[in-house]
Chain A
């Protein structure tokens, strides 16, 4: 069945260093739609990035990700971490024609001064 894997449960970085959060997925559908949602403390998840185009970089709020169908990956990156980036990040796969999202386990990103 459809699934999403985020290998890191916790990523701790010093402010100013680059961020990379891993996301891989499995689906039988040939045109997957991938998302990154961010959840700050005591808030609800909100969309950060989305893409269904192979090998095209998508960017928002300093973050970027590229969907690579060849490796079934959609890693999230940022060149320089900020304290305000500390949050829980979810990678998600949309199940075609149902609209439901399959979420990965989530990666907690903690940025230290």
Chain B
């Protein structure tokens, strides 16, 4: 099956903890993205990588850091989470034309 996979589906943690989310795509795409979808359903780009190289780094707090081991994997680490980090984090990928983006199922984070 070719798609975008994310783990975990859901994560509950407390303020100040560190969390990591994983994303893997088996579509053979070159570019991967992290988006944040907040409680109001606003969808905003955070980062994008092309062949392991960071190409987009939006204005996000420094506690967020993406990590890419190869073009099929893009992880997201959040050091010292805060309540406003509660959201759904969506991973996506696209081919070299970078037009259609395919989204994973998302990781829902709840910070207590």
Contact surface of B with A, Cβ cutoff 8 Å: 31, 33, 41-45, 48, 50, 55-56, 58, 90, 94, 98-106
Q: What is the 8 Å Cβ interface bit string for chain A, positions 82-113, against chain B (1 contact, 0 not)?
A: 00000010100010001111110110100000
A interface size (C-beta, 8 A): 19
In Å, the complex CA distance between A107 and B35 comes to: 18
Partner of A45, one of B44, B94, B103: B103
Chain A residues within an 8 Å CB radius of B33: 99-100
Partner of A46, one of B41, B56, B58, B103: B103
Chain B residues within an 8 Å CB radius of A64: none
Does A63 sit within 8 A of B, measured CB to CB?
no
Chain A residues within an 8 Å CB radius of B102: 46-47
B42 and A99 contacting across the interface, CB-CB below 8 Å = no
A44 and B103 contacting across the interface, CB-CB below 8 Å = yes
A98 and B101 contacting across the interface, CB-CB below 8 Å = no
A100 and B45 contacting across the interface, CB-CB below 8 Å = yes
19 more A-B contacts (CB under 8 A) besides A44-B106, A98-B48, A99-B31?
A44-B103, A44-B104, A45-B43, A45-B90, A45-B103, A47-B101, A47-B102, A50-B99, A94-B98, A94-B99, A99-B50, A99-B55, A99-B56, A99-B94, A99-B98, A100-B45, A100-B56, A106-B43, A108-B41
- Nearest CB to that of A98 among chain B residues? B56
Min distance, Cβ B4 to any Cβ of chain A, angstroms: 8
In Å, the complex CA distance between A45 and B104 comes to: 9
Question: Which A residues from 64 to 91 make CB contacts under 8 A with B?
Answer: 88, 90
In Å, the complex CA distance between A43 and B104 comes to: 9
Partner of A106, one of B42, B55, B100: B42
Min distance, Cβ B87 to any Cβ of chain A, angstroms: 14
Q: A44-B105, A98-B55, A98-B56 are in contact. Are A103 and B99 (CB under 8 A)?
A: no
